[in-house]
Structure 1
Amino acid sequence: MVEQARATLPRGDTYGGLSREERASDRRARISQAALELFAARSYDDVTVAEVCARAKVAKRYFYDHFTDREDLLLSVHRDQNDWLLAEVSAAAPKKPENLDALLRPMMTALVTMLDEHPDSARVIYVNAPRMELRRRGVLRKDAELIG
């Protein structure tokens, strides 16, 4: 079925068996993954767009198709990682807990386990960059709402 859909695309819309949208999605994912690795390893100010593009194996022009600048990239990666973490913590919550301990214990265990198993994500979520302070406060509010 996918082959039929690709066969109906106008000439030039596929390359390597992928549509333009699939290639763009793949590039964005590679840029985000490269940024996650670099921001986890070094401070925000020490990571350049050129380094992210080199690690992601994409031309700089593709970077700007998806992100306005390095700060936009950091915010996007931070949001994606935090959403992933909160989804995992929420999934660990029992449906009908008997008490507060029965609710919080599995959620906190999931939180600590996820951060331990994914240290790059933990570093980006809790990144120490002045530009992230407002975002961090918003995340803390979101976390508090989840627990509330």
Structure 2
Amino acid sequence: MRKALLIALLVVTAACGAYRFPGPGGGSGTVSGQVTAYPCGGPVEPAAQPCMPGPAMDCLPKTPSGSVCGPWPLPGMALAFTNGSATVSAKTGSDGFYSVQLPSGTWSVDVPGYVRIISGPRSVVVTAGAEITANYVVDTGIRAAA
């Protein structure tokens, strides 16, 4: 009888350790990616520049049609991640990349101002320990003079 009671107590104790409360888990994850602008990303379209061999920081990427103006990394762009009443901001570096730690949950993504997202996820689902890549293409609204 004593042995059976000890075994039952051991089983009940072991089962309690496996129980998890329902609802969203705690923790946070990382959302990162690159923001590129199209078309051209600046207040004035730059003049055509030849791309020389070797590193060229001011050389614009070409579009498939071969034009000089194409999407390129957008430095200093703010992204707003919103979950209910909480908003977390991220800003791109000089290379157009950003990274932000967000608590677990579903976050909507927006860009403040006149710029609009034309490609990329409008929401991200973050779980504890997750590393999510979310790249965006934004329209600056800037067009070449006719």
Question: TM (normalized to structure 2)?
Answer: 0.25
Which of 1 and 2 has higher RCO (CA within 8 Å, sep 6+)?
A: 2
**Structure index of larger Rg:** 2
Tell me which protein shows more helix as a share of its residues. 1
Tell me which protein shows more strand as a share of its residues. 2
Question: TM (normalized to structure 1)?
Answer: 0.25
